[in-house]
Amino acid sequence: MITEDCKKKLSSMYEGRGICRFGEPMAAHTTFRIGGPAKVYLVPGSEDGVTGIADLAAETVRFLRAEGIRMQILGNGSNVLAADEGIEGVILHMEDKRSKPDYRTDGDTVFASVTAGTSFSGFARDACDRGLAGLEYATGIPGTVGGGIVMNAGAYGGEICDSLTEVTVLDRDGRKMILPAAELDLSYRHSNIPERGYLVVGATFALRGGDREEIRAKVLELSAKRREKQPLEYPSAGSTFKRPTGYFAGKLIQDAGLRGYTVGGAQVSEKHCGFVINRGGATAADVRTLIEDVRRIVFEQSGVMLEPEVKFLS
């Protein structure tokens, strides 16, 4: 239970070091534009990059654990669906709009270090603008670096595991550790970070120099594909379902006759059936009902049970 005393302590802890709000609407912080109020909403911020953010996040983790208060992590809000009734515990929003990537060169490799709350697409664009190859696929991924690492985000044949070298995390007791990427069990849309209860606070990537014009051309090509194939004009959480082995989720949904299928304000996109969109006024209940309908009907038609890629906050 979050008492008034707990709220006062969190307010004091975050004064001048971040953001602490009560009853903050999650619809303002998710790309679905859906979600009720979070009882406590925290954003650790610092001009000291990973170190400063990690220190405040560690204090927060230790305090909440001691008080027995549940905490959930939010990145860019691009792969989540927040409950209509709101969030009872604490939302720790790892969003960092101030820190810049730190680059250092070692031989032919350029190591880029970023905070977990850094925009993944922004970081990728910055690297590409510098003539660094390896993140072209990520210039349109709407999430943070930390969220991307948790799910080993990827697109168009590229994944975070291709260039990630190490990750700075906090464990359940708020202890900071630096782990090599090889220890994260990175695979398709998976890492062991959630099961180990880690909180990602920073990461380092190994990139290589490339031809600026070739890199720019690749970025423009992928951007055009996204605009052509994805319903970017509507709020969504990105791709709604994981790709089943041997299949494509969008194709299975289309073949089941569900293109444009609607529940309330939620709809299977007519442009790309792998996306569920908010056509206007959709609730989390609408989206969850639609997702379950799609899973059931696709299974009845194909024998394939789709697994949601979207995470549910409640």
Q: How much of the chain exceeds pLDDT 70, in percent?
A: 99
CA distance 177 to 18: 22
Q: Which residue has the tokens 């490799």?
A: 109
Cβ contact 145:135 at 8 Å: no
Spatial CA neighbour of 60 closest among 79, 41, 38, 78: 41
Q: Which residue has the tokens 């709009």?
A: 97
Cβ contact 43:18 at 8 Å: yes
Task: Report pLDDT for 50.
Answer: 78
CB atoms within 10 A of CB 282: 25
Task: Report pLDDT for 98.
Answer: 83
- Catalytically active residues are 189, 239, 309
Which stretches of the chain score pLDDT less than 50? none
| Candidates 3.90.550.10, 3.40.50.1820, 3.90.78.10, 1.10.760.10; CATH matching 231-313 | 3.90.78.10
Task: Report pLDDT for 48.
Answer: 65
| Global pTM exceeds 0.75 | yes
Q: Which residue has the tokens 């927040």?
A: 82
CA distance 266 to 245: 27
| Candidates 3.30.300.20, 3.30.43.10, 3.40.50.720, 3.20.20.70; CATH matching 4-93 | 3.30.43.10
Tell me the pLDDT tens digit for each residue of 65-124: 999 999 999 999 999 999 999 999 999 999 898 889 999 999 999 999 999 999 999 999
| Candidates 3.90.1300.10, 3.30.450.20, 3.30.465.10, 3.40.630.30; CATH matching 102-220 | 3.30.465.10
**Which H or E run includes 302?**
helix 284-302
Phi, psi of 24 (to 5 degrees): -75, 125
Question: What residue segments make up the domains of the chain, in order of their start?
Answer: 4-93, 102-220, 231-313
